[in-house]
Amino acid sequence: MPKRLALSFVAAAGLVLLAAACGGNGEKTVTGRVLSAVERNLAEIETLTLRGEDGNVWKFVTEGPVGTSAAHLRQHQLGGEPVIVTYHEANGRLVATDVRDAAGPHD
């Protein structure tokens, strides 16, 4: 019985680690090139559209700051530099929660 209990514990721990590594909170990421960024104000973006590495077009909305501005994303658009978007799905929409430069730290 102790062996079976130990195996159950190892399996449960593995599932917890797997859930954490895969974004157990429902958040996902996509990397792609900016097609458009519409600003809400100087510090926030309202919407972001990008072409993912998979060729699909992704359209995001935001509900607050995401770590970058529309002006910075337009620089990526002009330069063809990729970004990484962290998002979740809510009410049939893709809600971006974080947008970062794919190539390195934020300018």
Torsion-angle region of residue 51: left (phi > 0), alpha (psi -120 to 50) or beta? Answer: beta
57-62 and 93-101 beta bridge pairing: parallel
Per-residue pLDDT of 52-88, as tens digits, reads: 999 999 999 999 999 999 999 999 999 999 999 999 9
Q: At 46, list the tokens.
A: 């309202």
Closest CA to 73 of 104, 106, 97, 28: 106
pTM of the prediction? 0.73
Cβ contacts of 97 within 8 Å, gap of 6 or more: 27, 62, 66, 86, 87, 88
